[in-house]
């Protein structure tokens, strides 16, 4: 063992109680750091998961962001012709040539796509009318891009295939109309076409506006109702890797010319709130470790004062200032390492306990578990924070110890 390390260990074991207090500070700091950050990161991921899973990762719609390059401009050489105030043609008839584009998107790996025709309709039942959004879907593909199948509480999406005149509605709407599975209602499209449809499925997402205004029917039926045969106006896309959405959306927009919006783009404000929240959380938990590092500073400063004679004798026998500094830095590192080790264990224990806690938020019927993120990243971060604050706390006493001048001490003692 290096002699400096041995001296460091002797100092720490010689002042067991104070060492233990400093150690406890680091252990608690690391443990709380872990528990709080795992909870916050867990809730963040839970939040993003809901955000991501409840809506498509990418929505391709029949809007065009940029007008097409005009033939006149293409003919002109280097800006000889410039057309100003050009707007994309308002195109409400749906995605042009959707089958080719669908095939193009489907060919890409790691994604699932569903074509949808979305329009407005009015539902009439027993003299009541409600305006809703009616989506024409293909049940087989819709199930792969949406969680709607999991939210069904009666009937199913597949029932649409069996009954072409079927409609799936939310529980909110069903309560308003006071109707149940198997009842008939009238659907009137904006064009004036109307049709009697049978409720073949009920869903509940927990989001009131979705449950009250979203309805689903077969794509073919919607095309007839909206008088837009062979058209869709949305592609809903779900990716294996949700975080690739921005890049994939970009590629799709480049290839098809249709506006593709990823969930990242659609939820930028929420994501930036999460970043701010993380910064606040990390500053608070890091503050715990800063407080703990004052304990270490205090202990090591006391040791330096107490051991001035020892330091003087070590220097007189030929120890360098660097050796003496190293002794006290070692003491900081030892406290940091042992403290981190026990802190990580205790933090993991706290995380386990927290993950068992069940809470029932007001107004929610199901009990939920606290979301805990077990990522290795935060274990590393907690250790790094602890080690940095320990070494910083040891640095000042170490520097003071390195400056001890043996002759001054010897003169004082003689």
Partner 1 sequence: MSAVLRAENLVRILPGEVPVTLVNDISLAIERGEFICIMGPSGSGKSSLLYLLGLLDVPTSGQVWLDGEETSRYGEDDLANRRLEKLGFVFQFHFLLAEFTVIDNVTLPIRRLGRLNASAARARGLELLDRLGVVEQSAKYPHQLSGGQRQRVAIARALANDPLILLADEPTGNLDSASGGTVRQILKDLAHEMGKTVVAVTHDASFAAAADRRIGIVDGKIDADWRPG
The DSSP code sequence of 270-319 is HHHHHHHHHHHHHHHHHHHHHHHHHHHHHHHHHHHHHTHHHHHHHHHTT-
Q: What number of chain residues touch partner 1 (CB under 8 A)? A: 27
Per DSSP, 77 falls in state S
CA distance 375 to 16: 34
Task: State yes or no: residue 178 binds partner 1 (CB under 8 A).
Answer: no
The interface region with partner 1, picked from 197-205, 243-251, 335-343, 403-411 by CB under 8 A, is 403-411
Smaller CB separation from partner 1, 143 or 315: 315
32 binds partner 1, rule: CB under 8 A: no
Provide the minimum distance between the beta carbon of 295 and partner 1 in the complex, in angstroms, as a whole number: 22
Backbone angles phi, psi at 363, to 5 degrees: 85, 5
Cβ contact 117:223 at 8 Å: yes
Distance of alpha carbon 121 from alpha carbon 229, whole angstroms: 17
Identify which of residues 216 and 319 has a Cβ nearer to partner 1 in the complex: 319
Phi, psi angle pair for 56, to nearest 5°: -65, 150
Distance in Å, CB of 328 to partner 1, minimum: 15
User: Cβ distance 282 to 37 under 8 Å?
Assistant: yes
> Judged by CB, which is closer to partner 1: 2, or 251?
2
Closest distance between partner 1 and the C-beta of residue 319, in Å?
Answer: 6
State the DSSP string of 385-406. HHHHHHHHHHHHHHHHHHT--H
Nearer to partner 1, 304 or 344 (CB): 304
What are the two backbone dihedrals, phi and then psi, of residue 95, each rounded to the nearest 5 degrees? -75, 125
- Show Cβ contacts of residue 295 under 8 Å, excluding neighbours closer than 6 positions: 21, 22, 25, 26
CB of 39 to partner 1, least distance (A): 43
Q: Which of 33, 263, 297, 319 binds partner 1 (CB under 8 A)?
A: 319
CB 212 within 8 A of CB 164: no
DSSP-derived letter for residue 67 is: P
- The token pair at 142 is 């819709």
Q: Applying CB under 8 A, which part among 4-12, 100-108, 190-198, 358-366 lies near partner 1?
A: 4-12
Number of H helices and number of E strands within the chain? 16, 12
State which residue, 3 or 357, has the beta carbon closest to partner 1.
3
The answer to the question of residue 411 lying near partner 1 (CB under 8 A) is yes
User: What angle do the packed helices 321-356 and 268-306 form, to 10 degrees?
Assistant: 130
Among 140, 322, 352, 360, binds partner 1 (CB under 8 A): 322
Binding of residue 317 to partner 1 (CB under 8 A)? yes
Nearest in space to 118 (alpha carbons), one of 137, 98, 99 = 137
Exactly one of 138, 321, 345, 370 binds partner 1 (CB under 8 A); that residue is 321
**Nearest distance, CB of residue 395 and partner 1, angstroms:** 19
Candidate ranges 148-156, 272-280, 311-319, 392-400; the one touching partner 1 (CB under 8 A): 311-319
Site for partner 1 in 6-25 (CB under 8 A): 6-7, 10-11, 13-14
Q: Which of 226, 310, 373, 401 lies at the binding interface for partner 1 (CB under 8 A)?
A: 310
Q: Does 407 help bind partner 1 (rule: CB under 8 A)?
A: yes
Q: Judge contact between 169 and 163, C-beta under 8 A.
A: no
Cβ-contact 139, 120 below 8 angstroms = no
Nearer to partner 1, 20 or 83 (CB): 20
303 in contact with partner 1 (CB under 8 A): no
Q: At residue 362, what are phi and psi to the nearest 5 degrees?
A: -60, 135
Should residue 413 be labelled a site residue for partner 1 when binding is judged by CB under 8 A? yes
Nearer to partner 1 by C-beta: 118 or 409?
Answer: 409
Q: Is 5 in the site for partner 1 (CB under 8 A)?
A: no
Least separation in angstroms between residue 307's CB and partner 1 is: 9
Phi-psi domain of 374 (left: phi exceeds 0; alpha: psi -120 through 50; beta: other): alpha
**Residue of 183, 259, 277, 309 that binds partner 1 (CB under 8 A):** 309
Smallest distance from partner 1 to CB 324, Å: 10
Binding to partner 1 by residue 326, rule CB under 8 A?
A: no
Q: Which residues bind partner 1 (CB under 8 A)?
A: 3, 6-7, 10-11, 13-14, 309-310, 312-323, 406-407, 410-411, 413-414
């Amino acid at each position: 063992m290096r002699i400096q390390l041995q001296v460091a260990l002797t100092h720490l074991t010689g002042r067991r109680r104070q060492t233990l207090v400093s150690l406890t500070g680091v252990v608690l700091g690391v443990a709380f750091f872990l528990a709080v950050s795992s909870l916050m990161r867990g809730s963040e991921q839970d939040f993003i998961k809901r955000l991501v899973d409840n809506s498509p990762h990418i929505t391709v719609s029949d809007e065009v962001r940029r007008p097409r390059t005009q033939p006149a401009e293409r003919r002109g050489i280097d800006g000889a012709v410039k057309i100003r105030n050009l707007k994309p043609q308002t195109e409400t008839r749906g995605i042009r040539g959707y089958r080719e584009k669908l095939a193009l998107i489907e060919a890409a790996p790691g994604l699932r796509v569903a074509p949808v025709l979305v329009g407005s309709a009015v539902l009439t039942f027993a003299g009541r009318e409600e305006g809703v959004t009616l989506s024409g879907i293909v049940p087989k593909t819709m199930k792969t891009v949406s969680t709607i199948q999991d939210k069904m509480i009666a009937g199913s999406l597949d029932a649409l295939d069996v009954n072409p005149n079927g409609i799936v509605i939310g529980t909110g709407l069903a309560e308003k109309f006071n109707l149940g599975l198997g009842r008939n209602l009238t659907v009137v499209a904006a064009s004036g076409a109307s049709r009697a449809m049978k409720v073949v499925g009920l869903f509940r997402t927990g989001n009131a506006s979705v449950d009250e205004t979203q309805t689903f029917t077969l794509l073919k039926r919607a095309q007839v109702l909206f008088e837009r045969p062979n058209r869709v106006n949305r592609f809903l896309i779900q990716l294996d890797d949700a975080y690739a959405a921005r890049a994939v959306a970009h590629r799709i927009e480049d290839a098809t010319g249709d506006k593709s919006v990823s969930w990242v783009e659609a939820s930028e404000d929420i994501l930036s709130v999460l970043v701010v929240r993380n910064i606040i959380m990390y500053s608070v938990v890091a503050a715990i470790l800063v407080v703990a590092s004052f304990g270490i500073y205090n202990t090591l400063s006391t040791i330096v004062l107490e051991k001035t004679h020892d330091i003087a004798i070590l220097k007189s026998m030929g120890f360098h200032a660097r050796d003496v500094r190293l002794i006290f830095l070692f003491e900081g590192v030892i406290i940091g390492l042992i403290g981190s080790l026990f802190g990580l264990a205790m933090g993991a224990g706290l995380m386990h306990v927290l993950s068992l806690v069940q809470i029932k938020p007001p107004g929610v019927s199901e009990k939920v578990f606290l979301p805990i993120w077990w990522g290795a990243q935060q274990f590393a971060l907690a250790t790094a924070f602890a080690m940095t604050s320990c070494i910083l706390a040891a640095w000042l006493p170490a520097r003071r110890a390195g400056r001890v001048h043996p002759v001054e001490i010897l003169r004082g003692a003689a």
